[in-house]
Chains A and B, each alone.
Chain A
Amino acid sequence: MIEFKDVSKRFGHTVALDNFDITFAKGKITGLFGPNGSGKSTSMKMIAGLNRPDKGEVTLGGLQPQESKISIAYLPEIDYFYPWMTIKQAAGFLQAFYADWDEAKYKDLLGFLRLEEGMKIAKISKGQRAKAKLLLTVSRRAPYLLMDEPLSGIDVLTREEIINTLIRDYREGEQTIIFSTHEIAEIESLVDDVVFIEAGQVKLAGSAEDLRINKGMSLLEIMKEEFRNAN
């Protein structure tokens, strides 16, 4: 369980989070949706311990982010691996830090995603790089999995592969997964819960199925409606 308690965060004059208050349930896949600059990345980084709240508190199962790094697998939106590394070297690097690294799963996913260990991160295509990031993140059995825009700039077929990988790999009840994207349509059937965020605040949150039952609309339609009303 990941909790934000009235968290506010500014960067200079920009308000990134504004009394952001939400709980991400344990064992669920939560979609974090919102327009660019709404606070998605800031909140993910905050969980990963890469920045700190100005006000309020973030906890993971009661612990501070700084104390939880060992149990977090974080996939940032940007390319964050050393460009000279091959996939094998990057995997070896992570293995030294995380005891939850699962070599069998890594080998299995490597084949499933049609990647090769000798591929150099600087020299592969954007889609392959996105898949490599995914591979290196989910090859760990981390209790918390944070994925910031893992689908952005990636072709439709690769997106499907990424989503299928997550489903294949998901362990019910154990992992808390947060998935941010603005491509809602792609992950309608992937998420348990949704959080719509705008201007650093929770706009709407709840179970995806309940929202569909109550509103008779898809998540995409709900989001369009929410953000249309806002403007």
Chain B
Amino acid sequence: MTTLRFKTILLAGVIVPATLLITGCQTAETRTIDASGPQALNTGGINSQDWVNAADQLVGSLLSSGALDKSPVQPAVLAVDRIINNTQLNIDTDLLIKKIRVALSQTGKVAVTNTMGLGERAVVASEAAEMDEMTTGKKAIVPSVNFTLYGKLIQQTDRLNGVTQNTYSFQMSLVNVKTGLTVWEDDRAIAKQTKKSTVGW
């Protein structure tokens, strides 16, 4: 009788909670969140909020400068040049540049050309223009570019007293192709500090 009671207590008090604990740890929960919302995970890298923030600051700076208003044609024709990733992160720079392109296109002040530049977009657009020339027999009229946009992402890492700080610089410049002069440029930084936990599992 005593042995049976002991086994019951063992089962109820130790084995069942232990089983629940182990199986409980294996439960995965997934929820859909707003990519640039407050629930987005904040890491030492560049998260979705940081891309939105950087793009918003750079677009706001460019539009406030009035550089695009000095274009001889409206909307100004813009070619996107190389965006250099000098961070330790393996990232697609379109996470930044696409947001900037979309925002500038929405203003109606910029038309982004795809017939020059780098990447598959430029290749497809050039081939489409050649095909148009062949089928219609007329030379395709490609508008001349007024501005080129290029940028660079830089990461600086500092460590002190168990705290790691990653400072990401988002640098961007707008060049007038007629003069070769930089008519706008800006450098916005996002710094993130991560403290390593003293308790590790």
Q: Do A and B bind each other?
A: no
**A contact residues vs B (CB 8 Å cutoff):** none
